[in-house]
Amino acid sequence: MKFDRYYICADLKKNLRALGFKRTTDIQFKAIPSIMDGEDVLAIAQTGTGKTAAFAIPVIDKIHRFKTNSQSYGIKCIVMVPTRELALQIGKVFESLANHTRVKVFTLHGGVEQDRQIAKLQDGIDVLIATPGRMFDLINQQAIKLEGVSTLVLDEADHMLDLGFIEDIRYIKKMLKKKHQTLFFSATINDEIKKLAYSQVKSEAIRIQVSPEDRIAKNVSHFVMFVEMDDKRFFLDRFLQDHPEAKVIVFVRTRVRAERVVKAMARAGFDTLSIHGDKDQDERAVAMQAFRNGDCRVLIATDVSARGIDVPDVDFVINYDLPEKAENYVHRVGRTGRGMKLGDAISFCSSEEKPLLAEIEAFIEKPIEVMDVSKEGYADVIRTPDRAAKELRDLVAEQEAWLSGVGKKKKKRKK
């Protein structure tokens, strides 16, 4: 359906045209009318299908019309998200769609000074996109007032509930108007999380599920390479050599592992950036911006980046380590093949990770195609005994050179 056919304000339609939004995606087509009618909604759809716009469009239109017809002050919609990166991304979508309307948008997260955030809140905000930690800090300081909030949105709702934010959500809902709208959006949801979600919406809430028979987008091709743990860095090196122009996100399991992979790729001559929980907000923002702009084409990431991050034109997602939770596979591979674009997801699976692979295949309800490394030209990068011995010799030589340098410095000091 064309957006021009919706009964939404002229400025919002103009913004949609400027952003290249012509027709609704399936989730937008099914969710927007129900949200505009004031229904509670639990919406489940694959990543890259336009979920953010599905709730941003009706929220912005509703607030714009309300402010056009009457004076108002204070927050009217809160969008709660699990990570800073997702908050910033959703904030950009809202700001683009709210351009030239009466709707004021602000993104709130930790890792930055509170004073400026408090000052911005005091200027008057209509839509607050926030991570829970900083939001509750400012609620306790009475810098955030909730009495005017009529819409609560939980994006990546399964992750929010799985992280144990259910009590925080219940607390927020108790402070809202008795009559308010609750919207849950996610790419995946299990039975336990579904029960928690339904406990927080009206009994007549609308459930929307797009493509329930396929948990992963059809425009992503999936492959697995059986690679032992110690060989993974050589395979990644070869892959990056073979795809010098590609934009690649490489997912690893831990923060320490992310930095090790960055150093290994630097030794191989590749410029990479990392993003994980040990990085402060400025470092994470700089890395994401460089990756978006194409200044750096390889991003090494933990699962903090897997949720909802929309980076244009990612060609490949590489699961350097398989995720410990099968549903995180869906969120990771959803970073490529977004919208109408095609993408590839390649997983490096070691012997000890085969049970994780089985869980992933059961979760997505289909086998992942095995890539024969010998046919793909990767056989020569497997670590043979000779290669391992050479690595050990190189490492010993490197350590001896360093120790020799330290000894020379000590002799100079004695003189």
- Taking the C-alpha atoms of residue 302 and residue 309, their distance in angstroms, rounded to an integer, is 12
Cβ-contact 31, 55 below 8 angstroms: yes
Helix 84-98 with 281-293: angle, nearest 10 deg: 60
Task: DSSP letter for 101, please.
Answer: S
Higher pLDDT, 257 or 213: 257
Looking at the structure, tell me whether residues 164 and 244 fall in a common domain: no
Burial annotation 209-219 (CB, 10 A radius, 16+ → b, else e): ebeeeebbbee
Looking at the structure, tell me whether residues 179 and 303 fall in a common domain: no
Q: Which residues pair with 26 in a beta bridge?
A: none
Q: Is 214 domain-assigned?
A: no
| pLDDT band at 32; cut points 50, 70, 90 | very high
- Taking the C-alpha atoms of residue 314 and residue 346, their distance in angstroms, rounded to an integer, is 13
Looking at the structure, tell me whether residues 150 and 286 fall in a common domain: no
- Taking the C-alpha atoms of residue 342 and residue 24, their distance in angstroms, rounded to an integer, is 19
Burial class (CB in 10 A: 0-12, 13-18, 19+), 238: middle
DSSP reduced 3-state for 314? coil
pLDDT (tens digit per residue) in 223-271: 999 989 989 999 999 899 988 889 999 999 998 999 999 999 999 999 9
Whether 22 shows a pLDDT value over 80: the answer reads yes
- Taking the C-alpha atoms of residue 401 and residue 137, their distance in angstroms, rounded to an integer, is 51
Looking at the structure, tell me whether residues 37 and 144 fall in a common domain: yes
Looking at the structure, tell me whether residues 199 and 238 fall in a common domain: no
| pLDDT band at 384; cut points 50, 70, 90 | very low
Domain count, the chain: 3
Whether 203 shows a pLDDT value over 80: the answer reads no
φ and ψ of 252, to 5 deg: -125, 170
pLDDT (tens digit per residue) in 46-91: 777 788 999 999 999 999 988 887 776 789 999 999 888 888 889 9
For the segment 1-6, the average pLDDT, to the nearest whole number, is 79
Most confident of 29-33, 42-46, 374-378: 29-33
Q: What is the dihedral of CA 252, 253, 254, 256, to 10 degrees?
A: -50
| pLDDT band at 28; cut points 50, 70, 90 | very high
Structural domain of 14: 3-209
Whether 411 shows a pLDDT value over 90: the answer reads no
Cβ-contact 314, 248 below 8 angstroms: yes
Looking at the structure, tell me whether residues 291 and 409 fall in a common domain: no
Q: Is 215 domain-assigned?
A: no
Residue among 95, 96, 77 at smallest CA distance from 16: 96
Distances (CA, A) of 350 to 17, 142, 152, 295: 47, 51, 42, 32
pLDDT (tens digit per residue) in 303-354: 876 565 678 789 999 999 999 988 889 888 888 887 667 889 999 999 999 9
Looking at the structure, tell me whether residues 29 and 117 fall in a common domain: yes
Distances (CA, A) of 315 to 45, 219, 247, 286, 377: 21, 12, 5, 21, 20
Radius of gyration of the chain (CA): 24
Looking at the structure, tell me whether residues 199 and 275 fall in a common domain: no
Higher pLDDT, 220 or 394: 220
CATH number of the CATH domain containing 35: 3.40.50.300
Cβ-contact 298, 74 below 8 angstroms: no
For the segment 189-201, the average pLDDT, to the nearest whole number, is 76
Q: Which residues pair with 299 in a beta bridge?
A: 249, 273
pLDDT (tens digit per residue) in 274-298: 988 788 777 888 888 899 888 999 9
- Taking the C-alpha atoms of residue 210 and residue 215, their distance in angstroms, rounded to an integer, is 9
